[in-house]
Structure 1
């Protein structure tokens, strides 16, 4: 789905429709974009980085949960991250500075959070320290601190709220969600 949506972004005649239906603008009133924006990547670097991260962490979570539970986890975490970002954008940002949000980062951060709980001794490489392996239980708080700094300083390079919401979702789901999922089966 991500690749198809990315391909659609590359077609100039579709730009207006993509912006309208695959970017979540908190002031637009189009709540369905809380879901569609999770599969949307406009820039090649954004698509490439997120798909590499999804391949790296999503595969582990897929093996942990299985197909159906992974899909439920991924979509739920993506929509939850979008919702938290939506609420925080309206609460904490200057109305003139509210921009649209897109990408799988919230869902990917959920995968990172789930991996950190399940495999705390696993090592990962961070993009800003690519040659130094770091235990995931240290890497996750480091990237969450980076996002918190982005929020507190107002230097929003990314959707920091979605990242933090996603990581929190992954941690909580790994600790408590699997049992709840089994109970509704």
Structure 2
């Protein structure tokens, strides 16, 4: 890959610094900088950017930073620093938007099932209650704390049992933040596949060389299957898809208008 390009180098440095800072200051950093659902009590406007520099563990940041270096460096070398950064953050914002939009859809579906019993304001109030024991969200604790909120408002909480699974899933969707550069990285992968379609790539657990023009769509298809199937993998699959989608739209538009030939230094 040769010498590190400027934007990639600085993105790597910021990500690594914040990773070590998170390990020092823990939960406070996650509370401030992760991307929370807008109706979560922890949400702040800057999180749509700051979450791209947060990571959930060592392997998370290692894989993302490797991908940033391996696929981002050749793109920045062609595009220039400013164009690369514009693309990177656009993909990251698209990732945040789709992830939040899908969560909103599931939360709204849960509310529709009980909307005859409580207002939207009270619904979000009960979704914000604590239900964690250690790192696990516990249904019984959620029911107890939500019931307390409802009882203080003179509302019989028994209606929660009508579709408790959907309400509890809405609660966890609101309470689990998104972290990581993966959405922006997926945009970078799409751009790489556009520009270096014949380059051969491999997965660590599947060491078979596959051309980028097939490898990247395959990766996105896996995320789409897991996302639509609502498979609990601990991965924000629609965040990946959102980054890839914005990356595809931008590359399609740039290529169609010969914008790919312009550098922004």
Q: TM-score, normalised by structure 2?
A: 0.64
On the 8 A contact 1:9/1:42 being kept in 2, the answer is no
The answer to whether the 8 Å contact 1:50/1:105 transfers is yes
Structure 2 unaligned segments of length 5 or more: list them: 1-13, 108-168
Tell me which of 76, 83, 88 is aligned to 1:74.
88
> Aligned pair 1:118/2:195, yes or no?
yes
> What do the CA deviations read for 1:133-156 (whole angstroms, capped 9, x no partner)?
101111111111110111122114
Give the secondary-structure state (helix, strand or coil) at the position aligned to 1:42.
coil
Q: 33, 37, 51: which one pairs with 1:22?
A: 33
- In structure 1, how many angstroms separate the alpha carbons of the residues matched to 2:35 and 2:180? 10
Aligned-pair distance for 1:34? 1.1
Which structure is larger by alpha-carbon Rg, 1 or 2?
A: 2
Q: TM-score, normalised by structure 1?
A: 0.89
Tell me the residue number matched to 1:4.
17
- Equivalent position to 1:32, from 42, 46, 49: 46
CA RMSD of aligned residues (A): 2.1
Counterpart for residue 238 of structure 2: 161
Q: Which runs of 5+ in 1 are unaligned?
A: none
